Chain A
């Protein structure tokens, strides 16, 4: 701890800081927990998918209070836990007023770590309709910024043909504490013949999943979290990280494979291991990543190459092998591929041209692969973490770190578990309708798309 960090975290330091407007950040609700207060459903224009999904989730729900056109806004009388606004039949600019009318009282009454979940259709139809689709995104992002005490807002574009079964896992994720650090985000749920009618606590039971970079940080949290959801983990990291890797593997009853993912035969080694141990590979989480930060004017070829190879090229090579080795240690049909991008990649970040290239590349890769693998029912998605509290970010000088961690709508850094939970949601067999998506886990970082 630096001297300034010590002062800041001391009791008198905290008192001064809070006077200066630096409040203690809210404690976020996490895990497979539901909002405490009532869930309110506003199904505008008689939409039904939201209602049916809540029923499938086994959640009861209340009717919304609608703001009157003039005068004082009526109140709920008590805190509410979440509002689900089903706007899937909203098509006109005039209709947007209905959003205001249901959100105004609800946002006021929303509890800490409460949820706003807006359901809409992907862009389609005439000019006005498409414009409205995008307008909802603007509402979502702004509401997310205005919400307080760890409450978040999410906009889900639900495909016309998507059923409540298809939406179940996503709606569950958005409402539960697992999405604690996902805020102001928008992603799509497609029709996928998902044949589920409830959420499972251990959806990954009996499934084998590879996690790269699992020795520490976010990767270790992913391995632990997926193991808790029932998965058998093949934990991979470079040989020098073997001690920590073994510890993680042993803690979760998994297996450790000391392997540099940039090795030419990395994919083959993984598939051989899976095949030999008589396992079937359900999914892989490409978490291993490095930074070699320098301003572009100081970035040489070595820094460029190593970052692009570890963060992007290696996973592409491994994916190719694992997809080719179908039934022989490769990814099974119905499987999952997860990339780990970064807000630095989506938004750009000074001093990280190489890293941003690699991480934006990951986002591009999953979007490119997703449609091509749809016929094998393999989904490909990515998370894009923002500022996550790890050993890596712990090395950033205190003042800078404090600024980074607070520059988002939740006024705090995310935890590795937050990234892991989003990945666990992608991996859930019930998330079959989620494909080619890049979901930021950044607390709605002020920078970025």
Chain B
């Protein structure tokens, strides 16, 4: 009853800095564009797929049915159902797992996993005071009553509320949390800047090679990721001022992800569907695991995925040596550095319930086509950026080549997945 869920391909739009070229586009627009590029690439116009699962982290109330609405705006058949799913920065790896699982169970034969975020189109909400007054006014039965309700509005009620970026339970921003981890794990500035520089250089090389020609479709005249700085260097990055961790902090705007706009999608299918429809099969989704840590209790907020990776490898009976390529989402360069240290830390791993350290691996296998520091990180879109990229890289290496994806997510969570080239 289980079927192989294969990654057919993917499509994303170039990612941009928030407030940049997509400033006037909504999540709906960005997601529709990502879907339409995918539809065109695989000739799916007018076709009904099993399901589309997508999500956004920063979401307007009007977008309560974001993914379904984007499907309706896209060239897919309107008979294609969709659902919204959200797990912070892990969203579109989670949607990938969701679609892959449904395919594996035989519930659907094909589907799209996707995600989108626009820090430019962040939902601005009204204050509680204003909300109460407005509700009261709408319930009022007379003009007088309504006037009285409005009279209760105070100037302070009118200030718009930006969406929270801080962890609700600690009040600390993600960067501030990561700064604690950076400090605790002794991650140096040099380590971080090297990771950042490599990310830019790897992404730039992939673009120059035409690697993204069948993974990205331009949008609103943007043909390449705009955060990418091909000519950056460790020396240039070293000149930046600290952004997190106080005046002595080592985390800068250069080694932290920028607020970004973008959308990405993955086309998944059962092996038989792919064969029947003569679709490419880049890699199959092998397995996935989610984990969480007690960050209000003091655990490292962004090291949630360590336990997930350990448990997943143990379940599959694999070690890091079994992987041709590894993708660790670069929320911050220091997240990657701390994750690598944590993987090799016996005490930390045992405390996470693992039987020992996960281990080390040759870093030339890490994020070889660049990652979020260079590409940008529209939260919910990043998983669906990584999955097709990795699948294509693995496919080029030959059948059986394995890849591991590790992504941290807000709330002390993490999601890890294994894909294997077919």
Listed in ascending order, the chain A residues whose CB lies under 8 Å from chain B are 232, 235, 239-243, 245-247, 249-259, 263, 276-279
A253 touches B33 (CB 8 A): no
List chain A residues, Cβ under 8 A from B213. Answer: 239, 258-259
> Among A240, A255, A263, which residue has its beta carbon within 8 angstroms of that of B43?
A255
Q: Counting chain A CB atoms within 10 Å of each CB, which of B33, B212, B218, B280 scores highest?
A: B218
List chain A residues, Cβ under 8 A from B39. Answer: 246, 250
Mark B206-240 against chain A: 1 for CB-CB distance below 8 A, else 0. 00001011101111110100000000000000000
Nearest-neighbour CB distance to chain A for B74, whole angstroms, equals: 8
B218 touches A250 (CB 8 A): no
> Among B43, B220, B223, which residue has its beta carbon within 8 angstroms of that of A253?
B43
CA separation between A101 and B75, bound complex, in Å?
58
List chain A residues, Cβ under 8 A from B218. Answer: 239-243
List chain A residues, Cβ under 8 A from B170. Answer: none
List chain A residues, Cβ under 8 A from B64. Answer: none
> Among B43, B217, B221, which residue has its beta carbon within 8 angstroms of that of A254?
B43
> Among B41, B217, B220, B280, which residue has its beta carbon within 8 angstroms of that of A255?
B41
B210 touches A239 (CB 8 A): yes
- Please name the 9 residue pairs, one residue from A and one from B, whose CB atoms are nearest each other, closest first: A246-B40, A250-B75, A255-B43, A278-B278, A256-B40, A249-B40, A240-B223, A242-B217, A250-B45
Which residue from chain A places its CB closest to the CB of B37 in the assembled complex? A246
Which residue from chain A places its CB closest to the CB of B217 in the assembled complex? A242
A253 touches B46 (CB 8 A): yes
Instruction: Count B-side interface residues using an 8 Å CB cutoff.
Output: 25
Which residue from chain A places its CB closest to the CB of B38 in the assembled complex? A246
CA separation between A276 and B221, bound complex, in Å?
30
List chain B residues, Cβ under 8 A from A258. Answer: 213-214, 217
CA separation between A251 and B219, bound complex, in Å?
17
22 pairs from A and B in contact (CB 8 Å cutoff): A239-B212, A239-B216, A240-B218, A242-B217, A242-B223, A243-B37, A243-B218, A243-B219, A246-B36, A246-B37, A247-B36, A247-B40, A250-B36, A251-B75, A254-B40, A254-B43, A255-B40, A255-B41, A257-B214, A276-B280, A277-B43, A277-B278
Nearest-neighbour CB distance to chain B for A219, whole angstroms, equals: 15
Q: Counting chain A CB atoms within 10 Å of each CB, which of B46, B217, B221, B278 scores highest?
A: B217
A240-B218, A241-B218 provided; 8 other pairs, C-beta below 8 A? A235-B40, A242-B217, A243-B219, A246-B37, A249-B45, A253-B45, A254-B43, A258-B213
Q: Counting chain B CB atoms within 10 Å of each CB, which of A242, A257, A276, A278 scores highest?
A: A242
CA separation between A252 and B75, bound complex, in Å?
10
CA separation between A108 and B221, bound complex, in Å?
53
CA separation between A36 and B219, bound complex, in Å?
46
Which residue from chain A places its CB closest to the CB of B42 in the assembled complex? A255
Q: Give the residues from 153 to 207 in chain B that come closer than 8 angstroms, CB to CB, to chain A.
A: none
Which residue from chain B places its CB closest to the CB of A240 in the assembled complex? B223
CA separation between A249 and B42, bound complex, in Å?
10
> Among B33, B278, B279, which residue has its beta carbon within 8 angstroms of that of A243?
B33
List chain B residues, Cβ under 8 A from A235. Answer: 40
Which residue from chain B places its CB closest to the CB of A234 in the assembled complex? B43
List chain B residues, Cβ under 8 A from A242. Answer: 37, 216-218, 223
Nearest-neighbour CB distance to chain A for B31, whole angstroms, equals: 14
Nearest-neighbour CB distance to chain B for A252, whole angstroms, equals: 8
Q: Counting chain B CB atoms within 10 Å of each CB, which of A232, A256, A259, A277 scores highest?
A: A256
A246 touches B217 (CB 8 A): yes
Nearest-neighbour CB distance to chain A for B47, whole angstroms, equals: 9
List chain B residues, Cβ under 8 A from A245. Answer: 40
Nearest-neighbour CB distance to chain B for A288, whole angstroms, equals: 15
CA separation between A255 and B280, bound complex, in Å?
14
CA separation between A275 and B212, bound complex, in Å?
22
B278 touches A276 (CB 8 A): yes
CA separation between A247 and B216, bound complex, in Å?
14
Q: Counting chain A CB atoms within 10 Å of each CB, which of B40, B214, B220, B223 scores highest?
A: B40
List chain B residues, Cβ under 8 A from A240. Answer: 218, 223
Which residue from chain A places its CB closest to the CB of B76 in the assembled complex? A250
Which residue from chain A places its CB closest to the CB of B11 in the assembled complex? A246
CA separation between A242 and B219, bound complex, in Å?
8
Mark B54-88 against chain A: 1 for CB-CB distance below 8 A, else 0. 00000000000000000000010000000000000
List chain A residues, Cβ under 8 A from B75. Answer: 250-251
